[in-house]
């Protein structure tokens, strides 16, 4: 006689005293994130009874907590309920009454898909927090899903197990919920940890999973979220160690390059601000405000830095989603390392400290007389939005927990999956955003300067598959638990997976697997993948992708003439891949990390089919943080020609290329374009060089 995986469940529940008897569900979901909502909706659609036990009052996590300028990557791989969410956002903004503070035509089509790409299910990827929350609440209401809010798992003794199976969970209020399947949809992985599943906190050493970008990254400067060559003193009295160290600078050594540690990337609040005077209130002076906390920022300004507002990304109705940008910004570097495993009380202390820091940062910029006048004038345009977060002082209740615990499951996703160095098995969804880790520590260099460490930004070679095994614990640890947020991934792989659209995708896939495990009486580790795959595809999930590596990348072979992509150039020094720009050639482009060290050079060399005159064009994605006077040298039959390129301005040819001139070339002499970051100020960016015959 076949033994069912669930035969013991009624027995375990029956042993409870009548007054303590648990409410029973097919699927019990712990957490209030976007993944919790999509998991619940999918479970209900598959005919299962389901409940969300949420420590949060507001559903949606960061998707409704300020991250309205969605980190999408390639939108073509976002399907199922995740895409349905963004379709519903589009439906909202398609109504005239949704534009209270701004005309729809003024905002334009920013963040919207097109009929050609979306078909009938139009999408919008940029939105106000309150709009996102309403979409999540509509999902809950339409599907008649039970939600218990402000219910916190008793992490010490609230998980009951029978062998490797979870039987029930109990919250601090004393309520118990029994289930056949459980899903941990929290950012912290509290249920996963309490259930005894193996997990990791911090960075693995590079040699653990044979990764280049994991571990301590001393000396690696990405993105510009560092002090570069500013050579700023970390001491209260500049250059005087005896005077003490400025606030928010660690005196501990950062660790050896490539080594692992238990530190986590910085958190912040994704601030929603308004520049409409009728819908804003001034930044309040927070209790405990201390202007000395921002002394280092004044030194950054004195060094000439003026990028404070580069990540004030516009969302509808004259609001913005603000993210960290630069060496001293909204990221509260180094103040969260104990958060993942901390008690609830300690976590609340950390959250309050982050709120004080960030509100103080705003108040400092708006009111301290030492702040440069141009910065102060701009920040005073903004204020807290009166119509957002009405029950929390117009401030988001959700701290951006970029990374906490990570499951060590049946399969561990690593950068080798993202970079296509190995085949990923049993896809249950896809990611595509660049590998993105924020800074982890701020330390003092051996030369006596302040520096940030841990910021990584590199491409992923296009969309990648996420393995089913990364959602489930190792066999025998928790055989009826799925983990769609704190997935089994290395620190550096999680830096790409950790995007909100992906969490929604994995939440839905987890619920599908849970329902199939219930129907077949199986452990989650034994769900037959082919049947799971069939159901996921039926529900509109995208499991494989055969299009161009980046939806923004242009095929070099279709551009005419002879095109040499950056991937074919001869490179020296450190170049970082990126695919964040709106348009570029090939799979990605490269930048020098704003190193200004003269060590990064590139040589684009073409084998021309015949001698003659050719126009030479240079491609780069522009940005106002780029090098404004890049010396590019063309090697031709008549010698060498140096051309200065301003990479801060948009290229005049198809918003992609700038002409370097027309020159004579012969087939028996080199045809090349060379450049380096010697003497450069700003990021040196390279994409492609094109030779077009006259």
123 and 150 share one domain: yes
343 and 373 share one domain: yes
> Looking up tokens 């930044």, which residue turns up?
283
497 and 368 share one domain: yes
1 lies in some domain: no
562 and 612 share one domain: yes
3-state secondary structure 99-115: CCCCCHHHHCCCCECCH
406 lies in some domain: yes
627 lies in some domain: yes
Q: Looking at 503, 530, 549, which one is the last position of a domain? A: 549
pLDDT bucket at 219, cuts 50 / 70 / 90: confident
9 lies in some domain: no
β partners of residue 347: none
Q: Looking at 549, 578, 609, which one is the last position of a domain? A: 549
519 and 658 share one domain: no
- Around Cβ 89, how many Cβ atoms within 10 Å? 27
User: For 433-489, what is each residue's pLDDT tens digit?
Assistant: 989 999 999 999 999 999 999 999 888 888 999 999 999 999 999 999 999 999 999
Provide the 8-state DSSP code for 526: G
15 lies in some domain: no
Domain containing 606 — which CATH number? 2.60.120.260
426 lies in some domain: yes
Predicted local confidence at residue 4, as pLDDT: 55
For residue 591, give the 3-state DSSP assignment. strand
Sign, CA torsion 431/434/438/444: positive
Contact yes or no for 270/321 (Cβ under 8 A): yes
Residues sharing a CB contact under 8 Å with residue 355, sequence separation 6 or more, in sequence order: 269, 286, 395, 399
Contact yes or no for 151/51 (Cβ under 8 A): no
> Looking up tokens 């299910």, which residue turns up?
121
11 lies in some domain: no
368 and 412 share one domain: yes
201 and 231 share one domain: yes
Sign, CA torsion 136/141/143/148: positive
User: For 394-416, what is each residue's pLDDT tens digit?
Assistant: 999 999 999 999 999 999 999 99
512 and 496 share one domain: yes
384 and 472 share one domain: yes
536 and 598 share one domain: no
User: For 346-386, what is each residue's pLDDT tens digit?
Assistant: 999 999 999 999 999 999 999 999 999 999 999 999 999 99
- At 657, list the tokens: 């290329």
674 and 637 share one domain: yes
- Which domain covers residue 650, as residue numbers? 553-693
Q: Where are the alpha helices (DSSP H) in 46-187?
A: 80-93, 104-107, 115-118, 129-142
Q: How many domains, in total, are found in the chain?
A: 2
Question: Which of 68-77, 108-117, 493-502 has the largest mean confidence?
Answer: 493-502
140 and 200 share one domain: yes
Q: What is the residue-averaged pLDDT of the chain? A: 94
Cα–Cα distance for residue pair 396/412, rounded to 1 Å:
33
272 lies in some domain: yes
Q: Looking at 524, 549, 574, which one is the last position of a domain? A: 549
Predicted local confidence at residue 8, as pLDDT: 45
Checking if the pLDDT of 580 tops 80, the result is: no
Cα–Cα distance for residue pair 282/115, rounded to 1 Å:
40
Cα–Cα distance for residue pair 451/441, rounded to 1 Å:
8
Angle at 152 between CA 151 and CA 158, to 5 degrees: 115
């Amino acid at each position: 006689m076949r033994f069912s995986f669930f035969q013991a469940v009624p027995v375990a529940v029956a042993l409870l005293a009548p007054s303590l008897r648990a409410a029973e569900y097919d699927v019990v979901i712990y957490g209030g994130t976007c993944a919790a909502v999509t998991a619940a909706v999918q479970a209900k659609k598959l005919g299962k009874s389901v409940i969300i036990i949420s420590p949060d009052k507001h559903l949606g996590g960061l998707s409704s907590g300020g991250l309205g300028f969605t980190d999408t990557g390639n939108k073509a791989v976002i399907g199922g309920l995740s895409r349905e969410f963004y379709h519903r956002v589009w439906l909202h903004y398609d109504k005239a009454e949704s534009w209270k503070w701004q005309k729809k035509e003024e905002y334009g089509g920013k963040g919207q898909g097109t009929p050609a790409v979306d078909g009938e299910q139009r999408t919008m990827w940029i939105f106000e927090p309150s709009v996102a929350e309403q979409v999540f609440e509509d999902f809950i209401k339409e599907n008649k899903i039970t939600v218990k809010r402000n219910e916190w798992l008793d992490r010490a003794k609230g998980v009951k197990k029978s062998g490797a199976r979870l039987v029930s969970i109990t919250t601090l209020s004393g309520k118990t919920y029994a289930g056949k399947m459980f899903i941990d949809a929290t950012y912290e992985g509290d249920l996963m940890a309490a259930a005894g599943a193996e997990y990791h906190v911090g960075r693995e050493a590079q040699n653990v999973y044979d990764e280049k970008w994991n571990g301590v990254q001393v000396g690696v400067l990405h993105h510009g979220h560092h002090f570069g060559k500013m050579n700023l003193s970390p001491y209260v009295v500049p250059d005087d160690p005896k005077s003490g160290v400025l606030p928010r600078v660690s005196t501990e050594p950062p660790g050896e390059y490539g080594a692992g540690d238990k530190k986590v990337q910085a958190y912040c609040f994704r601030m929603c601000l308004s520049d409409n005077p009728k819908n804003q209130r001034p930044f309040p002076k927070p209790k405990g405000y201390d202007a000395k906390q921002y002394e280092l920022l004044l030194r950054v300004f004195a060094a000439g830095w003026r990028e404070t507002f580069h990540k004030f990304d516009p969302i509808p109705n004259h609001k913005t989603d603000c993210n960290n940008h630069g060496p001293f910004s909204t990221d509260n570097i180094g103040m969260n390392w104990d958060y993942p495993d901390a008690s609830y009380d300690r976590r609340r202390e950390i959250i309050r400290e982050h709120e004080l820091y960030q509100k103080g940062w705003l108040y400092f910029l708006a009111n301290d007389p030492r702040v440069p006048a141009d910065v102060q004038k701009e920040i005073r345009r903004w204020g807290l939005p009166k119509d957002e977060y009405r029950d929390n002082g117009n401030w988001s209740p959700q701290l951006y927990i970029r990374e906490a615990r990570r499951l060590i499951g049946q399969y561990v996703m690593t950068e080798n999956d993202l970079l296509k160095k190995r085949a990923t098995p049993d896809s249950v969804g896809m990611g595509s955003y660049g590998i993105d880790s924020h800074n982890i520590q701020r330390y003092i260099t051996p030369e006596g300067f302040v520096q940030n460490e841990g910021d990584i930004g590199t491409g992923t070679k296009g969309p990648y598959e996420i393995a089913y095994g990364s959602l489930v614990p190792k066999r025998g640890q928790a055989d009826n638990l799925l983990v769609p947020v704190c997935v089994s991934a290395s620190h550096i792989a999680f830096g790409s997976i950790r995007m909100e659209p992906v969490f929604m995708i994995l939440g839905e896939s987890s619920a599908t697997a849970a329902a199939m495990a219930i129907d077949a009486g199986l452990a989650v580790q034994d769900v037959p993948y082919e049947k799971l795959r069939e159901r996921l595809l039926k529900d509109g999930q995208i499991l494989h992708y055969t299009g161009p590596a980046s939806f923004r990348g242009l095929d070099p072979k279709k551009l005419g003439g002879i095109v040499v992509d950056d991937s074919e150039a001869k490179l020296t020094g450190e170049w970082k891949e990126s695919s964040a720009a709106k348009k570029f050639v090939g799979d990605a482009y490269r930048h020098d990390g704003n190193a200004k060290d003269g060590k990064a050079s590139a040589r684009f060399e073409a084998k021309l089919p015949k001698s003659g005159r050719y126009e030479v064009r240079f491609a780069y994605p522009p940005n106002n943080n780029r090098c404004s006077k890049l010396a590019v040298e063309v090697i031709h039959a008549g010698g060498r020609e140096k051309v200065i390129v301003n990479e801060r301005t948009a290229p005049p040819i198809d918003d992609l290329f700038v002409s370097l001139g027309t020159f004579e070339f012969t087939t028996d002499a080199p045809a090349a374009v060379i450049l380096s970051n010697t003497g450069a100020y700003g990021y040196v960016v390279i994409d492609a060089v094109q030779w077009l015959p006259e």
